[in-house]
Amino acid sequence: MTSDRPKERYYSHMLPTGIDRLDAKLLTALAESPRAGIMELARQLGVARGTVQARLEKLQSRGVVTGFDPDLHLEAIGYEVLAFVTLEIAQGRLDDVIAHLANLPEVIEAHTTTGPGDVHCRVVARTNTHLQEVLNRVLEVSGIERTATHIALTEQVPFRVLPLVGRLLDNDAPPGPTD
């Protein structure tokens, strides 16, 4: 007969999010040194290479780590205009509109929303003239009843998730395996 004790011990060290302190430290180390290899991460964290590899694979399989794409500075590759576009969609046309938006490379993000509007898009363009061309292509699909576009002037707080991981480490969570 096997004991449930080790499993209980493991879960007693889990943060409310389903990641423990070692996972949070691994995520932080990976974000700070995205090109670090498994051996280097293991050295930084003071754990075995196999532990880092297993943790990273588990974080990927659970959807916590969703990719290792490079962070691109859009202005550096020629997309100097950022706009937020809210779309009001005719009833029953959401799937058609989303399929259309997914085929437009300048639509880099789209979310269904509550409140005024149905879909909120993040759109990039090389110039304001190019933005007008992108907006015209957005409107090529039937089902969009109204749009509102807001051009971003400057980025005040860049996209970030590490402060959330840091908050998990700062809160009074039980110590993890490496503490």
178 phi/psi in degrees, rounded to 5: -100, 0
Q: Residue 7 has what pLDDT?
A: 40
Asked whether residue 85 falls in the same domain as residue 53, the answer is no
Q: What total number of domains does the chain contain? A: 2
What letter represents residue 116's amino acid?
Answer: P
Residues of the chain with pLDDT under 50: 1-16, 172-179
> In terms of pTM, does the model score above 0.85?
no
Query: Token digits for 125?
Result: 């363009």
Asked whether residue 78 falls in the same domain as residue 58, the answer is no
Angstrom distance (rounded) from CA 58 to CA 20? 12
- Per-residue pLDDT tens for 61-86? 988 888 887 888 999 999 999 999 99
Asked whether residue 62 falls in the same domain as residue 83, the answer is no
Final residue before a domain boundary, out of 21, 45, 68: 68
Q: Residue 81 has what pLDDT?
A: 98
Q: For residue 127, what is the domain's CATH number?
A: 3.30.70.920
What residue numbers bound the domain in which 64 lies?
Answer: 5-68
The reply to whether 86 falls in a domain is yes
What letter represents residue 169's amino acid?
Answer: L
For every residue of the chain, which 3-state class applies, written as one string? CCCCHHHHHHHHCECCCCCEHHHHHHHHHHHHCCCCCHHHHHHHHCCCHHHHHHHHHHHHHCCCCCCCCCCCCHHHHCCCEEEEEEEEECCCCHHHHHHHHHCCCCEEEEEECCCCCCEEEEEEECCHHHHHHHHHHHCCCCCEEEEEEEECCCCCCCCCCHHHHHHHHHCCCCCCCCC
Q: Residue 40 has what pLDDT?
A: 94
